Structure 1
Amino acid sequence: MEFQDVVRRRRMVRSFTDEPVAPEHVDRLLSNAVRAPSAGFTQGWSFLVLEAPQDRERFWAAASPASSSRDMSAWRAGMGRAPLIVVPMASKAAYLGRYAEPDKAGAGLASPGAWTPEDEARWPVPYWHVDAGMASLLILQTAVDLGLGACFFGIGAAERPAFHEAFGVPAAWEPTGAIAVGHRADPGEGAAGSPSRRRRRPLDEVVHRGRFGA
């Protein structure tokens, strides 16, 4: 598939069949993910791959909110059939440690002040999650290229302790989100779990040339 077609066709798919994802496709999703850029080439990411039905059920039990302001049953039914869940995780400590190394200790991530080399205050944004997000986008795009569907979604703060415990994830690793991958269900199936359709904002609303608002 041409790259422009991959970009154009990428959508968040929220309803899947239970057809398995081929092992070679799982390998390609992950191999492409680690081609993402990372600050200082830290590569401070890990990917929890859940394919076995019992592992996926354990994930949904741990990561699903106990209560919600809206009915999530249709969304959960469509997403729950996805045969593959990938949880990209980031290690803040890996980045703080990397930028304390001699070749990076003077890197201008933030204006020098009272911080020490391993101080999080150096970082204007949490690049550990930025990098995991870039890796996640490569998974989403690779899924399109393979003729699959995928959806990136968050794991709430209240559900994170249960997620960590369910899968033995050390506290140093924080999930950036999770990605459900599989074969897209027939159009219209699970539509009740999809958000209201919103238009894509045109370029002239989001692109500012030379000056914000220009």
Structure 2
Amino acid sequence: MEFSELVRKRGMVRSFKDMQVEHEKLVKILSNAVRAPSAGHLQPWEFIVVKDDGVKRSLAEAALKQMFIAEAPVVIVTCVDTERSASRYGDRGRRFYSIIDGAYASLLILLTARDLGLGACFVGAYRDEEVARILELPRHVKPIGIIPIGYPAEKPPRYERIPMEQLVHLNRYGNRARLEDLVKEENR
């Protein structure tokens, strides 16, 4: 599938068929995730692959009772080693770069899953300390997203998007850019 089509067709899936995700697909997802960009190429991500039903259920409870997490055949929890980023960038690495880098890796998980015919959902609403306890994370490793993955049993809902013209500014905030303005600017 062409990349633009993949981006358009990506959606959050919260209902999964009772089918296991093939090992090869899981490896492909993780192989792409570790290729995400990162500040200083420090690669602060850590991935916890969860297949155990009890652990998935505990994560679903920690995620404010979002029980579809427990129903997914596999869950990947993206975590970041904040001290790995802090080793070069100090507090900014710990509080900002590590989170952004983990988000890049999570997006690659979502896109790769969709490209492989799977569904996935990024879950960011959870009790951090509880997830850390369940997964036995050291203090410097923080969970940033719970991603249930499986064969979709639903078509992801499509939501109205804010028109691009309302979100893109040219040179400074408030100077709304039309596509033709961007082309004109490029040709100057």
Pairwise same-fold verdict (TM > 0.5)? yes
Partners of 2:93 and 2:53 lie apart in 1 by 39
Deviations for 1:106-128, whole angstroms, at most 9, x for unmatched residues?
xxxxxxxxxxxx4x1x5596010
Deviations for 1:45-86, whole angstroms, at most 9, x for unmatched residues?
10000013233223224x233xxxxxx6xx52x443211111
Alignment equivalent of 1:206, drawn from 150, 157, 167: 167
**Equivalences, count:** 175
Partners of 1:202 and 1:32 lie apart in 2 by 30
Partners of 1:43 and 1:49 lie apart in 2 by 18
TM-score normalised by length of structure 1: 0.74
Distance apart, 1:209 and its partner CA: 1.3
Q: Secondary structure at the match of 2:122?
A: strand
Q: Secondary structure at the match of 2:120?
A: strand
**Structure 1: segments with no counterpart, 5+ residues:** 66-71, 100-117, 189-193
Deviations for 1:126-172, whole angstroms, at most 9, x for unmatched residues?
0100000000000000011000111001143xx22222222211111
Partners of 2:119 and 2:37 lie apart in 1 by 23
Whether the 8 Å CA contact 1:83–1:182 is kept in 2: the answer is yes
Which residue of the partner structure matches residue 154 of structure 1? 124
**What letter corresponds to residue 33 of structure 1 in structure 2?**
A
**What letter corresponds to residue 164 of structure 1 in structure 2?**
A
Partners of 2:93 and 2:139 lie apart in 1 by 20
**What letter corresponds to residue 88 of structure 1 in structure 2?**
T
After TM superposition, where is structure 1 displaced by more than 6 Å over at least 4 residues in a row? none
**What letter corresponds to residue 181 of structure 1 in structure 2?**
I
Equivalences for 1:19-98 in 2 at 5 Å? 19-61=19-61, 63-65=62-64, 76=67, 78-98=68-88
Deviations for 1:184-208, whole angstroms, at most 9, x for unmatched residues?
11449xxxxx8xx641111101011
Partners of 2:54 and 2:43 lie apart in 1 by 29
Which structure shows the bigger proportion of residues in helix conformation? Answer: 2
TM-score normalised by length of structure 2: 0.84
**What letter corresponds to residue 42 of structure 1 in structure 2?**
L
2:146 is aligned with 1:178: yes
Which residue of the partner structure matches residue 182 of structure 2? none
Partners of 1:8 and 1:134 lie apart in 2 by 18
Change (3 A) 1:202 1:96: same
Query: Looking at both structures, which has the greater relative contact order when contacts are Cα pairs under 8 Å and sequence separation is at least 6?
Result: 1
Partners of 1:135 and 1:123 lie apart in 2 by 16
CA RMSD of aligned residues (A): 2.2
Whether the 8 Å CA contact 1:16–1:79 is kept in 2: the answer is no
Q: Percent identity?
A: 39
Partners of 1:27 and 1:183 lie apart in 2 by 16
Change (3 A) 1:29 1:123: closer
**What letter corresponds to residue 64 of structure 1 in structure 2?**
A
